[in-house]
Amino acid sequence: MAGAAGSCCSSGVVFRAKKCRAIKAMASAPKREKDPKKRIVITGMGLVSVFGSDIDTFYNKLLEGQSGISTIDRFDASNFSVRFAGQIRGFSSEGYIDGKNDRRLDDCWRYCLVAGKRALENANLGPEILETMDRTRIGVLVGTGMGGLSAFTTGVDALIQKGYKKISPFFIPYSITNMGSALLAIDTGLMGPNYSISTACATANYCFYAAANHIRRGEADVMVVGGTEAAVMPTGVGGFIACRALSQRNDSPQKASRPWDKNRDGFVMGEGSGVLVMESLESAMNRGATIIAEYLGGAITCDAHHMTDPRSDGLGVSSCITKSLQDAGVSPEEVNYVNAHATSTLAGDLAEVNAIKKVFKDTSEMKMNGTKSMIGHGLGAAGGLEAIATIKAINTGWLHPTINQDDLEPDVTIDTVPNVMKKHEVNIAISNSFGFGGHNSVVVFAPFRP
């Protein structure tokens, strides 16, 4: 996979782990998976984001520290106490969804279909190639936290204003959370494992973890996996305002998402879709696929504490990180990059940092950044978009900044890549996602080494 365009990251150089780190790792690393049927590689990526649908453009904007947060103009938000979000503009599904379906679909499914098909294209699994493959061995697992929220809202409005006879026949199908995976499979003929997971903002990572296990168990060779969300609409924004979860920095939206900063006041809503093609190493090698990165493992846990607040002791998160490293066959000393959940909430940001410090005793060489500082919180899509950012960091050797780092919390002693991108050779990376309900998820990625 070529590096992102631009002078800072166009190099094709493959970086090697520092010798001292490699020696330390060899001394303590658990046994890693060797079976090519069970080793899982990433062969394709696709997204829809506030920065468009091109992977390199997306990552370059992140590297530049650009904010995608702006005033909402999709609906009249003038009477809302929060009037800004990471709203997608200028989205086009041309070439991916036919006009009739495009007009009917909820944006949640439009984003899913475009990101999913772009991921398949990126993996050299276009329609002609798929025709030659056993599509019963290729599955789809794209989750969402909210589902077709616009379709649901429209249906309820029709019921209240005009009666049940005016409800669209598409009301139920386009509202339910499994429809993204279903529609993508219908369009591509993929007949393998197919369903959705909905664990709020941890959704996409849960999907990666589950999809990997389908491959490891021999139930699929390829999985098209990620998350999708389109909740920047009155019901979504109003609902999160009611939860008192959102930043209210209406006078400076681009400064609102500020993970770990003392002046943070809540998260900023985002939207989009991020999808990976996960594949057994054996399958990828047999078809001569370009391998972008390797998925080493993951884990899921529950705080069992509160609907929206994290555990103050961070036990749910720290145990999830530990279990993910065990699943990956990785020692804590090998990890030198964390793409953090980092939503810019008062309790959540510090709970995550404390959990990270509990697992990683020496963080002197570690870097940790917050993608949401620029694109907002994509809810069920967040883990998908952040997995792509993590893999681009691995590929390019450059970490995007966490912007709006003006007055850091004193407990945050890990390098957050404040405000300006940094060159950093990623040895092993973890990507964290946590959701309402106490759902914790961590996935582990690394450069592919044969």
Q: Do 312 and 244 contact (CB within 8 A), yes or no?
A: no
Identity at 305, one-letter amino acid code = H
**243 an active-site residue?**
no
Helix (H), strand (E) counts: the chain: 14, 14
Q: Which of 201, 207, 243, 302 is catalytic?
A: 201
Q: Find out whether 222 and 139 touch, Cβ atoms under 8 Å.
A: yes
SS3 string of 86-143? ECCCCCCCCCCCCHHHHHHCCHHHHHHHHHHHHHHHHCCCCHHHHHCCCHHHEEEEEE
Beta strands in 290-345 (DSSP E): 293-302, 335-339
Decide: 1 and 292 in contact? Cβ < 8 Å: yes
The alpha-helical segments, DSSP class H, found in 360-381 are: 372-375
Question: Please, are residues 87 and 72 in contact by the beta-carbon 8 Å criterion?
Answer: yes
By DSSP bridging, strand 335-339 and strand 428-435 are: parallel
User: Buried (b) or exposed (e) across 91-108, using 16+ Cβ within 10 A?
Assistant: bebeebbeeeeeeebbbb
How many whole angstroms separate alpha carbon 210 and alpha carbon 405? 35
Q: Which of 98, 108, 3 is CA-nearest to residue 48?
A: 108
77 is written with which tokens?
């938000």
User: What is the rounded CA–CA span in Å between residue 89 and residue 74?
Assistant: 9
Closest by Cα among 347, 350, 339, 398 to 373: 339
CA dist., res. 323 & res. 412, Å (int)? 23
CA distances from 218 to 138, 179, 214, 283 (A): 11, 25, 6, 11
Which residues have a catalytic role annotated? 201
